[in-house]
Amino acid sequence: MNCLENYVSVKHCGLDEPESGLYVNDLAGISLKSIDASANSEKVTFYEVWKTCEKRAIKRLTTSISNELLKRFRLKKVIEYYKGWKGNINTVTNQTASNTDYKGFFINLGSDVNTFASPSELLTINIQELSLYLKADGNATIKVFEVINDTFTLLDTFSIVDGTIGFNRVNVNKMYFGVKKLFIGASGLNSPHLPLTLNNDCTDCGCVELCNANLKGGYVSSDLDTIAYVNNSFGLTGIININCDFASFICNNKNLFATSLWFAQGYELLTERIHSERINKFTTVDAKIARELRDEYANQYNTELSNALNGVTFQQDCCIDCHAQITLQTNLP
């Protein structure tokens, strides 16, 4: 859940102000000195302690939200499954894109390549693997960009080292939470022609159309200013799932859960202090106070999370099984 990292931060010289405006050491009983007092041979600085506790707090929050929502909604798992397209490869046909352009394909969760209208905010792009056809032995680089209003932000870079003629597989296994549109491309290559003949599985319970996610071949100029859509992914293909996951909802609405995350981080820092192998005032004399304060933060965390989730609904959402909330019915005799 990269979208929640640094969303709540620790107040210290040199660190950027968090987007939420919340600092964990603004909580009562949490200070830089107390965090540093929990450091040990594995987490040697206050910052390493903080990042460890931040990771646990994010996991605690996302698990709590998912478990609570699963009590109320039936969530579908895989909406679309693109198995790759390698058939019809043409290594002779001249290409319209130059070797300096990024060439590959777009994944869009909207109804077409030019819109961000999505049938669900729970949709997540899951890339299992990528394959790039090389017309000559050598190295290559594949880049993954998030696209928002035709602005490109680099998310990942994958390298092919000592590649050979033919398709070269790159293991990815990554879910892109909260991302509506991706462009995946490679540049600097004499690319083949590869039309997108997609083999995809799509199921529909009859509520709304599910197959709004789409893939489209295309290329982008080296300065990322010019976009062209074509039925050609230039030798780049992959195995891609469009999944439903509450994590996308969390990323898209993280402001709702900022206070819950704040208290979860305070809880984890106090847990770290209570179980620290260090011997000092914070871990001995103040241990009882830390336990009492941790219980208080646990209660505040639960209250804030409950308040945030009370009003959550998913109207006309293709990821929810026919929009059905799970209810208990009692049949009278």
Q: Which domains does the chain have, with CATH numbers?
A: 2-73+250-322 (no CATH), 76-244 (2.60.120)
Rg (CA), the chain: 24
| Low-confidence winner among 33-37, 198-202, 260-264 (lowest mean pLDDT) | 198-202
Provide the pLDDT for residue 298: 94
pLDDT tens-digit series, residues 293-309: 999 999 999 999 999 99
Provide the pLDDT for residue 41: 58
Segment 105-116 shows an average pLDDT of 66
- This prediction's pTM: 0.73
Sole residue written with tokens 């056809």: 133
Find out whether 31 and 19 touch, Cβ atoms under 8 Å: no
Alpha-carbon torsion (24, 26, 30, 33), positive or negative:
positive
Whole-Å CA distances, 9 to 5, 6, 173? 8, 5, 28
Both structure tokens of 108: 């869009």
Provide the pLDDT for residue 32: 79
Average pLDDT taken over every residue of the chain: 82
CA 157 to CA 211: how far, in whole Å? 28
Segment 275-293 shows an average pLDDT of 67
Provide the pLDDT for residue 329: 40
pLDDT at 113 over 70: no
Confidence at 119, pLDDT banded by 50, 70, 90 = low
Kind and range of the H or E element at 67? helix 46-70
Which residues touch 88 (CB under 8 Å, ≥6 apart)? 194, 195, 197
CB-based burial, 88-98: b 16+ in 10 Å, e otherwise? eeeeeeebebe
pLDDT tens-digit series, residues 202-221: 443 332 334 467 888 999 99
Provide the pLDDT for residue 44: 59
pLDDT at 79 over 90: no
Indicate the SS3 state at residue 28: coil
